[in-house]
Amino acid sequence: MSEETQHVPDLTDIREGDILFDCPYCGKNMAIESAGAGLMVPCANCGKAVQVPIPDSGTPEAPVATVPRPEIADGDDPQATIQQLDAALAMANQQIDRLLAEKEALQERRAFLEQIRITNSTRLERIAAELASLQDALDRALVLLAEVRTEKPA
């Protein structure tokens, strides 16, 4: 093993679809499942809270890991090529299954959060009505106090 290959980090824990990013404080390379997009996570190196970027087409600094495609040369064994393609297909199917499960979980979470939003909206409307009622009572009390102050003793 050469000097160069001894310092290459082990990337076996990074899977297709993972979000790759650097800690803005110490520069440590980090990776997290795509479900972690937008979350605050502690840096494994410096421990500071770091927001996981939300990858999109306009965010080149937050790439998503991709499936390595096998290089096929004219002299390659067709059976080995088929095995490589089968492995890539299996990995793609696993990612599809994972993404479908993630989509379902996100839909359930969205429905849950929408229900909370509706409930809180109703509660806030009731609170606003109560505050308006309290404000009316305070206004009436201030009028009465003003009348008491302006009355002259007999």
How many residues in total does the chain contain?
A: 154
Over the stretch 26-59, which tens digit does the pLDDT of each residue have?
999 888 888 888 888 899 899 999 888 887 655 4
Question: Can you give the pLDDT at residue 48?
Answer: 92
Cα separation, 39 vs 46, whole angstroms: 17
Question: Can you give the pLDDT at residue 4?
Answer: 38
Residue 23 clears pLDDT 70, i.e. is over it: yes
Secondary structure (3-state) at 20: strand
Contacts of residue 63, Cβ cutoff 8 Å, sequence gap at least 6: 19, 20, 55
Mean pLDDT of the chain: 80
Cα separation, 42 vs 30, whole angstroms: 10
Question: Can you give the pLDDT at residue 121?
Answer: 93
Pairing label, strands 49-51, 40-42? antiparallel
* 137-141, 142-146, 147-151: least confident range: 147-151
